[in-house]
Amino acid sequence: MKGLSSVFVLVITIFSAYGASIPTIVPTLKLHDGRDIPALALGTWLGNNTKPGASEVEQAVSWAIAAGYRHIDTAFAYRIEDQVGRAVAKKISEGVKREELFITTKLWNSEHAREAVVPALRQSLSNLGLEYVDLYLIHWPVGQFLNQTYDYTDYLDTWHGMVEAKTLGLAKSIGVSNFNQQQIDRILEHGLEKPTVLQVEINLNLQQPDLLAYCARQDIRVMGYTPFGSLFYSKAQPGAPPPRVDDPALVEIAKRHNKTVPQIALRYLVELGVIPIPKSLTKSRIEQNHLVFDFQLTEQEKATLKAFDRNYRTIPQLKWLDHPYYPFEKN
C-alpha cells in the first residue's frame, strides 16, 4: 500500500510539473463481436460548408486524448482524417498505446460498389497514418457518384465489401450509419454478418425509442450523433423545438448535480445506452464533455428529459429524399 501511494504521489507530481491534469479515462462497453468500445467519442465534423483549416481538428484531438477520450469519430467525407492521424501519431509518440485508442471512420457514398470498399478504406488508412481502424461504418445507405448522379448499388453489396475489409484486418469491427430498422433487418434476413454499431442522430429532440429498443434486442450498439441537437442558440435552426441551454428545467437539473447543461444532455444519452459523439474545437468544452460518468440522473429527471422528444431531425438530408434508399420518414 505504502509503495502504491508513493507511486501515486510521484505521478501527481509529474503531471503537475507539466501543468497537465490527470486524465479521466472514458469507460468502455462491449460490442457483440467481443471487442470493447469507449462509451463516448469526440466528433470531428466541421459542418456542411466549412473548409477545414490546417490544424484545428488536430489540436482538438490532442486535447481530447490528453483529457482521457479514447474514441475519435471521423469520416473520409469530413476531409480531416489527416489531422486526426497527426494527433494520434503525436499521442502515440508520447506514450499512449494504439490498442488503447478506438478510431472510427466511414465509407463515403461515392464508393458503394463492393469492390470499391477496400480501396476506399485503404485511402482512409493512408490519410490517418494507421494500419487498421477500430470501426468502419457505411456513412449512408444512399449511393451517389462524385458527379452527383445517384448510384443505385444495393447496400447489401456494399456490406459484402465491408465484411471483406474486416476479413483483411483493415477494420476490427464494422457497422452502419443512418440505416433504418428495415435496412438493418434486410442485412440480417440475408444471413450476412450483423453490424456491431448503428450511428444515428440522437438528442433531446430526437430520442428514437423504438429504434433504440430494436438495437438493444439485436445487441447492436448505438452511437448518437449531433448529441446536443438544438441546445445552443448559435446552432439551432429557426423553428427548432426547445430546450435551449438556458431552459430552467435543465439548469435546475444541472445545478443539482454540479454539472453543466451540455453535460446533462450527454449523460441522458449515456443512460439511454447510447454512445454520444460530442464535437468541439474548444479546449474547455472538450475537457468537460467527457466528464459524464461520475453521476446518475434520477427517474424524475429522466422523465423531464424524455418529455423534450419531438421526433425533430436536425440532419434530414432532404437532398437525397428521392433516392430509393433514403432512410428517414418522408414528410
Ligand X SMILES: *[C@@H]1O[C@H](CO)[C@@H](O)[C@H](O)[C@H]1NC(C)=O
Catalytic residues: 78
Closest approach of ligand NAP to the CB of residue 30, in Å:
22
Q: Are strands 71-73 and 133-138 parallel, antiparallel or unpaired?
A: unpaired
Query: Which of ligand NAP, ligand X, none does residue 280 bind to, with CB < 5 to 8 Å depending on kind?
Result: ligand NAP
Please give the grid coordinates belonging to residue 280: 468541439
Closest approach of ligand X to the CB of residue 267, in Å:
14
The yes or no reply on residue 63 touching ligand NAP (CB under 6 A) is no
Closest approach of ligand NAP to the CB of residue 312, in Å:
14
Q: Per CB under 6 A, which region of 87-95, 144-152, 261-269, 273-281 contacts ligand X?
A: 144-152
Helical ranges in the chain per DSSP H: 2-17, 56-67, 81-93, 114-128, 155-167, 181-189, 209-218, 248-256, 261-271, 283-289, 299-306
DSSP-derived letter for residue 234 is: T
CB 112 within 8 A of CB 151: yes
The yes or no reply on residue 47 touching ligand X (CB under 6 A) is yes
In whole angstroms, give the CA distance from residue 126 to residue 105: 12
The yes or no reply on residue 278 touching ligand NAP (CB under 6 A) is yes
CB 40 within 8 A of CB 69: yes
The yes or no reply on residue 284 touching ligand X (CB under 6 A) is no
Roughly how many angstroms between the first and final C-alpha of the chain, as a whole number? Answer: 63
Closest residue by Cα to residue 224 from 235, 236, 212, 213: 212
Q: Report 22-61 residues binding ligand NAP (CB under 6 A).
A: 43-45
130 vs 292, beta carbon nearer ligand NAP: 292
Closest approach of ligand NAP to the CB of residue 185, in Å:
20
The yes or no reply on residue 155 touching ligand NAP (CB under 6 A) is no
Q: Which of 13, 93, 147, 182 binds ligand X (CB under 6 A)?
A: 147
Rounded to a whole number, what is the largest CA-CA distance in the chain? 68
In the complex, which residues of this chain contact ligand X (CB under 6 A)? 47-48, 145, 147, 149, 237, 258, 319
Query: Which residues of this chain interact with ligand NAP, rule CB under 6 A?
Result: 43-45, 73, 139, 177-178, 199, 225-228, 232, 235, 262, 277-282, 285, 288-289, 315
